[in-house]
Chains A and B, each alone.
Chain A
Amino acid sequence: MLKDRIDILLGVLLLICAAAAVALLTGQGSQASQSNMAVDKALERDIAYQAKVSFLERLYAPVSELQQAEKLETALLKLDELSRHYPDEAHGELLRGEILLQMQAVPKAIEHLARAVRMSGDYVDQNSPLSRRSMINQLVDVQLPKLKAAATQQTTGRLQATLKDLYYLQGRLAGGCE
């Protein structure tokens, strides 16, 4: 490979470049800036996510309080009010689904929960602070056999749509690369 003086010169220059890069990477100053960079990036991401989570909690706190006090219809009205400012927002859809489930309006609840999961996978993610995985899992386990049985006896468009949403939730709970 190194056949003449030009080859040797190029080889030496290559070695100098490599040595300089190693020195930069292992030098004290660069180590500090490198780790700062890593911390900054990870921190930035964590802060943004935590900020989103706490903003959602704060935004929907009145709804959650009404929900816990079992004033479900008032909670829905409050959600309507909030959704005028933030239409098609995933967490609002999720809360609407939860409230409707508490009110035993199961098909409507499934529709809103599926819509929430379509907008944000965090709700079926075990590691997310927003996770509602166990609630959704339980819903699918209980409702799917019932709806399947109902679908064998009658096939209305509404029933089919609810079943489709349930299958969607079941698929998301099963995992996969998405």
Chain B
Amino acid sequence: MRQALRDPHTWLVMLAGGLLGVCGVWLAVLGNPQNSGICVSCFLENSAGALGLHDNPRMQYLRPELIGFVLGSSLAALGFREFSSKGGSAPLPRLLSGVFLIVGCSVFIGCPIKLFLRLAAGDWTALPGLFGLVVGVWLGLKGLAVGVHLGNAKKEPGGSGYWTPLLFVLLLGFLLLRPGFVLFSERGSAAEAAPVMIALGIGLLLGALAQRTRFCITGGLRDLFVMGLRAQLFWGFLIFIVIALAGSLLSGSFTPGFYGQPGAHLDMLWSFLGMLLVGSISVLIGGCPFRQLVKAGEGDADAGLVVIGMLLGAGLVQSWQLAGTAAGVPLYGKVAVLAGLAFFLLNLLLFRERTVA
């Protein structure tokens, strides 16, 4: 532990975690939905709606934070000469992983970042999600331990790693120029938003810091299991929770309890299973939804495919009404989570490197 704290990189990771906590609370104060100051899955569902991938008129807005995460990471990677175009590791399973990541998140109502923002605001209905995430990360690690490996990414002399950042440059253009085919909700949660330039600036800053530090929620948990308190990511993760809790208390948004929480439901089993799905898949593909955006920004085409899968999944969960709501989890949402768990188990079977005696 002392060794970890002596390393300046640990302090940079803690700075990233702290800023994520501050901004997560602050963006909700500035206008983002309650407890959703930062939520990668909600933002993806909003953005998918804005691009016409679903027709829920209350969930259509091209979230600037999301664009900032990817482009901030790209700028940092280019600035520090770390931009490297690579890919080719199990592309189709990664694309589908992206879809199921969003299925798990939408059933729980939130990504792993929002899970902790919800807990920091006193939403105890997120507790089963926390247990699910921890168990999911542990299961994912067990999978890696028995030899499951999606294959190595190869450095690509061509430029496939540029495509995800370029896609987000295009989305930035859509956000700023607002062409007629991009939809923006006038009511509902997507109409609640922090000022565009502030949200974009925060996204760029967090994306750049996450690129430098490799900050990741499931990565922090994974490293805690593997390395204990020596894990640098865990310290960033811990600071994120502490700062988010302090921010909630200071902003007056801390309302502890199980009932009447914003964007939450009482289907505890499905919150648990939804986050278990997210945790297990995240370990298998090397990062939570936020980390996938950041990796895609630094030229990882495999992560880019996960991002495309997440965008596709975000459209599907709204179109097929799989997402959990305050009323609970719909039947087909539950079926989709089980299909996701079957997908995870099938990947363990298909990608396990077996030693022949």
Contact = CB atoms under 8 A, between A and B. Distances in A.
A35 interface: yes
Contacts of A122: 187
Contacts of B181: 37, 41
B228 interface: no
Interface string B84-115: 00000000000000000000000001100000
A39 B178 CA distance: 12
A176 interface: yes
Interface residues of B, number: 34
Interface in A142-178: 167-168, 170-178
Contacts of B261: 171, 174, 176
Interface string B28-65: 00000111100100100110000000000111000000
Contacts of B110: 177
B327 A121 contact: no
B180 A35 contact: yes
B206 interface: no
Contacts of A128: 187
Nearest to B159: A1
Given A37-B181, A118-B327, A177 B264 contact: no
Contacts of B255: 174
B259 A171 contact: yes
A104 interface: no
B174 to A, nearest CB: 12
Contacts of B180: 34-42
Contact of B39 (A40, A173, A177): A177
A45 interface: yes
Given A127-B191, A177-B36, A177-B109, A121 B262 contact: no
Given A45-B57, A127-B186, A167 B259 contact: yes
B262 A167 contact: no
A125 interface: yes
Contacts of A171: 259-264, 326
B262 A174 contact: yes
Interface of B is mostly: loop
A144 B278 CA distance: 35
Contacts of B35: 175-176
Interface in A82-140: 118, 121-122, 125, 127-128
A36 B191 CA distance: 23
A167 to B, nearest CB: 4
B189 A175 contact: yes
Given A127-B187, A167-B260, A170-B259, A175 B326 contact: no
Nearest to A175: B34
B191 A178 contact: no
Contacts of B186: 127
Contact of A121 (B42, B58, B179, B260): B58
Nearest to A140: B260
A168 B326 contact: yes
Nearest to A148: B259
Nearest to A45: B57
Contacts of A172: 326
Contact of A178 (B179, B189, B259): B189
Most buried by A among B45, B186, B187: B187
B143 to A, nearest CB: 30
Contacts of B327: 118, 168
Contacts of B42: 177
B192 interface: yes
B67 interface: no
Interface of B: 33-36, 39, 42, 45-46, 57-59, 109-110, 178-181, 183, 186-189, 191-192, 255, 259-264, 325-327
For the complex of A and B, the 6 pairs showing the least CB-CB separation, nearest first, are A176-B263, A38-B180, A170-B260, A37-B180, A176-B262, A174-B262
25 contacts: A38-B178, A39-B180, A42-B180, A45-B57, A118-B327, A122-B187, A127-B187, A128-B187, A171-B259, A171-B264, A172-B326, A173-B260, A175-B33, A175-B35, A175-B262, A176-B36, A177-B33, A177-B42, A177-B110, A177-B189, A177-B263, A178-B58, A178-B109, A178-B188, A178-B326
